[in-house]
Structure 1
Amino acid sequence: MNGQREAELSGRLRERGLRATRPRIDVLAALEDLGEHRSADEVRDRLADEGHRLPRSSVYNVLTTLVRAGLALTADAGPGPVLYEAGREWHHHFVCRRCQRVFDVDCLVGARPCLTAGGDVGIVEEAQVIFRGICAGCAATCESGSE
């Protein structure tokens, strides 16, 4: 990682009130480099490939800290490992039943929680919608008779 990128990541961590430790910088960089929706194991594997060996528990702890600080989001895609993504904008997800990819879906109202509860349940801080179906790519493959 070059010095400019490290300084930028360190600055973002400090802006959120966090110390810019090596594990935090490395996990945030790996999450951003991987893109999309990634498990903690995928982040750990990416770090190991780059020569940064962190215990699985440390990767989970850093990811949890990044989520709490608003530098990463969890992507609720249903059963399976928790998925994480770099970013700050709240959104929902679409899970393809065929290829298992997870896609971002913008909130219609644009701000968290994006929905309201049907009754007086208290203070709603977030709501996640999981759309499930066949993604456009898989649907096109089905329509063309390739499958």
Structure 2
Amino acid sequence: MDVQRPAGLSPAEALRSRGLRATRPRVAVLEALADLGPHRSAEEVRARIAEGPDPLPRSSVYGVLEALVGAGLVMTADAGPGRMLYELASRWHHHFVCRICGRVTDVECAGDGKPCLSPVGDVGSVDEAQVIFRGICTSCASAARAQSDPGQLRRG
């Protein structure tokens, strides 16, 4: 899967460049993701489209997202049980998910190509490798430190 979105193309042109027909649902999902920004749930995408004149059923949104991921126009981030998030594919990167607040942050690859990680042993041809870092973000860690040491705020 090549995730580099063709630069400067409209949603319809981007779809056609990947061999997909530019249907109204596909264009609507790409436009919704562009409006919403990264790390959005399928429900957020559906709700954004529902604000317009032509809402889509939930099943259609999921089907379109799956097709767009397969075509390399959309990336996913596994943000935990039942939380698959989507974003327009602009550059290859990984994700950090905070265990406290749930915020998802982009993490640049250590390598300069895709996949930037390789498995040990001969498993076949690897097209991509996604890493999800999970932990506590700096904001939540700072808040936890401040709660455990109230004097820290006065000294800071």
Structure with greater contact order relative to length (CA < 8 Å, sep ≥ 6): 2
The Cα RMSD (Å) is 1.9
SS at match of 2:32: helix
Q: Over residues 42-69 of structure 1, what are the superposed CA-to-partner deviations in whole Å (9 max), with x where a residue is unaligned?
A: 1111111223311111111111111112
Between the aligned partners of 2:147 and 2:83, the Cα distance in structure 1 is: 33
Q: Amino acid of the residue matched to residue 68 of structure 1?
A: G
Q: Which runs of 5+ in 1 are unaligned?
A: 1-6
Counterpart for residue 141 of structure 1? 143
Counterpart for residue 3 of structure 1? none
Contact 1:75 1:83 survives alignment (8 Å): yes
- Structure 1 position 24, deviation (Å): 0.9
Between the aligned partners of 1:119 and 1:13, the Cα distance in structure 2 is: 36
Between the aligned partners of 1:104 and 1:57, the Cα distance in structure 2 is: 28
2:118 is aligned, of 116, 119, 127, to 116
Between the aligned partners of 2:78 and 2:92, the Cα distance in structure 1 is: 12
1:91 is aligned, of 90, 93, 102, to 93
Counterpart for residue 28 of structure 2? 26
Between the aligned partners of 2:106 and 2:89, the Cα distance in structure 1 is: 11
Counterpart for residue 44 of structure 1? 46
Between the aligned partners of 1:140 and 1:52, the Cα distance in structure 2 is: 44
- Structure 1 position 135, deviation (Å): 0.9
Between the aligned partners of 2:126 and 2:15, the Cα distance in structure 1 is: 27
Q: Which runs of 5+ in 2 are unaligned?
A: 1-8, 151-156
Contact 2:79 2:102 survives alignment (8 Å): no
In the TM superposition, 1:47-126 aligns within 5 A as 47-126=49-128
Q: Amino acid of the residue matched to residue 98 of structure 2?
A: C
1:131 is aligned, of 130, 133, 139, to 133
State the identity %: 61
Contact 1:76 1:128 survives alignment (8 Å): no
Contact 1:76 1:83 survives alignment (8 Å): yes
- Structure 1 position 88, deviation (Å): 3.4
Between the aligned partners of 2:93 and 2:117, the Cα distance in structure 1 is: 11
Counterpart for residue 37 of structure 2? 35
Between the aligned partners of 2:101 and 2:119, the Cα distance in structure 1 is: 32
Q: Amino acid of the residue matched to residue 78 of structure 1?
A: G
